[in-house]
Amino acid sequence: MTAPTPLDQALPATSGTDEPPDLRPPSSWKLVWRDRRARAGAVVILLFALVALLAPLIAPYHPLERLVGPDGDLLRLQPPSLEHPFGTSNYGRDLFSQAIWGTRRTLQVGVIAAVVAVVIGTNIGLIAGFAGGWVEQVLMRLNDAALALPFVPLAIVLIGTLGRSDVVLIIAIALVFWRIPARVVRAEVLVLKELGFVRAATCGGATRRRILYRQIAPNILPYAFLYGMLLTAEAVIAEATLSFLGFAPRDALSLGTIMFDAFSSQQIRQAWWWPLFPGLMIMAFVVAVSLLSEAYERLLSLEGVDR
């Protein structure tokens, strides 16, 4: 055995076992989990994910089935009851089942759009921060210009000319929302690229691409993750808003289209429950995301990125 170094002495005693002490900092998830509010957010998000995944198993009825009561009448506009917790629509459809299926689509579009926006934004931020010079100038001016794209009108004009489809919706979301992660990632890269390990890699003869994607990129992953979460919430609201305005694909069923049906059927005068519950669900999801991401963001700003 070698003589104890100052570092060894600074470490806690291992109380006689041969096991080396676990010196790794607790994972960021463990730290986030200690926050009560973040925990609540994580549980709610998990619940939504489960509902979306298991929709066919949970939904008590087919979302489009026209339900008939024991007396043979269509169950039109029934207020919430144990049998139909969210009530029924003017066609006698079970709104609880619709909300469950709608959650599936809403989350699908939300997550895909957020991932696309974050992947684009992160890469642009990485390249802008690392390349510098005119590349950075051009990309950052583009970033400024993206601020000028008002999301709803942009989405309407895209859907109006290219047609109603999820792809167009996702393009619209990505076009507007890539700018925020790009900006943050670039700022982070500017700091990272001056650090020792990057210089070491440069001296070791690593290619620029390798340095960017192997050395630098892993360090900004927490930010990509944070903005992935935040943008999912944004995208969920965006999808719901456009669906409410009547721009969802024709046969789509999402939390937004349920509220579109409610509004456009002009039945909300009688059926307050129809638009109420899908909106509450969206709100619950958005609040849950912000609780979790706030805790995660606090952690990132406290620790900086693990370097």
Partner 1 sequence: MNLLNYAVKRLGFMLATLLGVVTFTFVLVRAAGDPDQVMIGPDLDPSVRETLREAYGLDESLFTQYVKFIGNAATGDLGTSFQYRAPVADVLGEKLVNTLLLLLPALALGMGLGMVLGVLAGAFWGRPLDAVITRFALLVRAAPLFWVATLVLLLFSYTLGWFPSGGMFDPGSGAGESFTARVLSLEFLRRLVLPLGVTVLLIMVWPLLTMRTAMLDVMKQDFMQVLEAAGMSRTRILFRHGARNALLPVVSLMPSMIGFLVGGQVVVETVFSWPGMGRELVASVDAFDYPVLQGGFLLTATVVIVVGVLADIAYAYLDPRVRLT
Q: How far is the CB of 44 from partner 1 (least distance, A)?
A: 12
Q: 248: closest CA among 142, 238, 16?
A: 238
CA 116 to CA 177: how far, in whole Å?
10
By beta-carbon proximity to partner 1, the closer residue of 84 and 179 is 179
By beta-carbon proximity to partner 1, the closer residue of 17 and 266 is 266
Find the binder of partner 1 among 65, 83, 144, 306 (CB under 8 A). 144
CA 50 to CA 149: how far, in whole Å?
34
Q: 99: closest CA among 66, 69, 55, 67?
A: 55
By beta-carbon proximity to partner 1, the closer residue of 176 and 185 is 176
Q: 224: closest CA among 145, 170, 296?
A: 296
Cβ proximity of 87 and 111 under 8 Å? no
By beta-carbon proximity to partner 1, the closer residue of 24 and 269 is 269
Q: 118: closest CA among 238, 256, 230?
A: 230
By beta-carbon proximity to partner 1, the closer residue of 182 and 217 is 182
Asked if 259 is part of the footprint of partner 1 (rule: CB under 8 A), the reply reads: yes
DSSP class of 245? T
Find the binder of partner 1 among 123, 198, 275, 299 (CB under 8 A). 275
Cβ proximity of 22 and 29 under 8 Å? no
CA 7 to CA 1: how far, in whole Å?
15
Q: How far is the CB of 255 from partner 1 (least distance, A)?
A: 9
CA 268 to CA 32: how far, in whole Å?
41
Can you give 84-102 as a three-state secondary structure string?
Answer: CCCCECCCCCEHHHHHHHH
CA 108 to CA 254: how far, in whole Å?
10
By beta-carbon proximity to partner 1, the closer residue of 68 and 283 is 283
Asked if 31 is part of the footprint of partner 1 (rule: CB under 8 A), the reply reads: no
Find the binder of partner 1 among 272, 303, 306, 307 (CB under 8 A). 272
Asked if 38 is part of the footprint of partner 1 (rule: CB under 8 A), the reply reads: no
Query: Quick check: helix, strand or coil at residue 178?
Result: coil
Asked if 165 is part of the footprint of partner 1 (rule: CB under 8 A), the reply reads: no
Segment contacting partner 1 by CB under 8 A, of 28-36, 130-138, 192-200, 269-277: 269-277
Q: How far is the CB of 150 from partner 1 (least distance, A)?
A: 4
Asked if 4 is part of the footprint of partner 1 (rule: CB under 8 A), the reply reads: no
Asked if 149 is part of the footprint of partner 1 (rule: CB under 8 A), the reply reads: yes
Asked if 240 is part of the footprint of partner 1 (rule: CB under 8 A), the reply reads: yes
Q: How far is the CB of 178 from partner 1 (least distance, A)?
A: 15
By beta-carbon proximity to partner 1, the closer residue of 34 and 141 is 141
Residue 298 — left, alpha, or beta (φ > 0 → left; ψ -120 to 50 → alpha)? alpha
Neighbours of 73 (CB within 10 A): 9
* Interacting residues with partner 1 (CB under 8 A): 141, 144-145, 147-154, 156-162, 237, 240-241, 244-247, 259, 262-263, 268-269, 272, 275-276, 278-279, 282-283, 286-287, 290
